[in-house]
Amino acid sequence: MSTMPRPKLSPTMLKRPTADTKFHIDYNWWEESNLDLKTYLSASLPVSEDAEAFDTEAELVDLIDMKTGEVRQVDSFQYLVQTYFRQLPEDFASRMSLVDAVFCVLLANGNIPMPARDLGERVNRPTETILRTFGGAKVYLGVRPLLDDE
């Protein structure tokens, strides 16, 4: 008989994402990785010659959820990014990789968790592809499923 204790598995570790599983960008993943979110996004956005457009360190912006009326504050950089990605044409996702397209859709949505089914529709890819790509152990750009009641 082994003296090694058995690993403890949480119920969340045993759940598999489904078409109704919501996905979001885990900002903690960015903090723990060697990547910097602002640098990554700045490199992804077409920066005009006026670099002051990205000088958004201290300002906070009030965002109003049009469905619930809830007001939340975000830094102005996050507001700029969200506004930028909301203005992209409908077919932008077809010109991007799946990972980048889902990441951009979540940014445009203010990182409000979205079901895999809705993400698939927005990026014009099958729901199963979304689940296989983002539902596994490997994390791409911080996109993770919400498998418990977070």
Give the pLDDT of residue 50: 43
Q: Please, what is the average pLDDT of the chain?
A: 80
Contact 68, 109 (CB under 8 A): no
The three-state DSSP-derived secondary structure of 34-88 is CCCHHHHHHHHCCCCCCHHHHCCCCCEEEEECCCCCCEEEEEHHHHHHHHHHHCC
Q: Model confidence over 31-61: pLDDT tens digits?
A: 899 888 888 887 776 554 444 555 556 588 8
Q: Model confidence over 58-106: pLDDT tens digits?
A: 588 887 777 788 887 777 777 787 788 788 887 777 788 899 999 989 9
Contact 129, 117 (CB under 8 A): no
Which residues, including other chains, have CB under 8 Å from residue 53's CB and lie 6 or more apart?
47, 80
- Average pLDDT score over residue span 106-127: 92
User: What SS3 state is found at 138?
Assistant: coil
pTM for the whole structure: 0.76
Q: Which of 81, 93, 97 is nearest to 38 (CA)?
A: 81
